[in-house]
């Protein structure tokens, strides 16, 4: 099966000082901050850019290599199977987003990639 990416969902960047970043993105650039999932217990902010979201991610312990790009796919579970078959690791994320299933992998150069799709109802 060939994986079909439907869109670029978000870009996440690392920051050391979330408040300074919020001043830059909200006050200077005028981006609209939107709520983050309640399960996210680490500092950060999300900004709605229309068809994509910017995630500003503050420091976490242990550091997880937070910067990444995220793709939305039609069936995230089928995609995870294909990624595994291709020899790449699949790590399902423990921070729940309502209605979304997602995992992380890395490209051949080690860049962190998030793949997400609609939650599969059992």
Q: What is the mean pLDDT of residues 96-120?
A: 86
Please give the pLDDT value at position 96.
Answer: 85
What is the phi/psi pair of residue 56, to 5°? -100, 120
Please give the pLDDT value at position 64.
Answer: 57
64 or 119, which is more confident: 119
Number of structural domains found in the chain: 1
SS3 78: helix
Q: Which residues contact 119 (CB under 8 A, 6 or more apart)?
A: 98, 99, 100, 101
- Domain CATH code at residue 10: 3.10.180.10
User: What is the tens place of the pLDDT at every residue in 19-43?
Assistant: 998 998 888 878 899 999 998 888 9
CA-to-CA distance for 32 and 67, rounded, in angstroms?
Answer: 20
CA-to-CA distance for 72 and 54, rounded, in angstroms?
Answer: 15
This prediction has a pTM of 0.68
User: What is the tens place of the pLDDT at every residue in 35-89?
Assistant: 999 988 889 999 998 889 998 988 766 555 667 888 899 999 999 999 999 999 9
Task: Express as a percent the part of the chain with pLDDT over 90.
Answer: 39
Q: How many helices (H) and strands (E) does the chain have?
A: 2, 8
Give the range of the structural domain holding residue 97, as residue numbers without chain letter: 5-118
């Amino acid at each position: 099966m060939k994986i079909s990416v439907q869109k670029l969902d978000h870009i996440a960047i690392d920051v050391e000082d979330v408040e300074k970043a919020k001043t830059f993105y909200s006050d200077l650039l005028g981006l609209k901050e939107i709520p983050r999932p309640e399960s996210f217990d680490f500092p950060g902010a999300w900004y709605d850019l229309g068809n994509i979201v910017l995630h500003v991610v503050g420091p976490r312990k242990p550091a997880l290599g937070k910067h990444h790009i995220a793709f939305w796919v039609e069936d995230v579970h089928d995609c995870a199977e294909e990624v595994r078959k291709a020899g790449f690791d699949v790590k399902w994320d423990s921070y729940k987003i309502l209605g979304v299933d997602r995992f992380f992998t890395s490209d051949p150069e080690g860049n962190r990639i998030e793949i997400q799709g609609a939650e599969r109802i059992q």
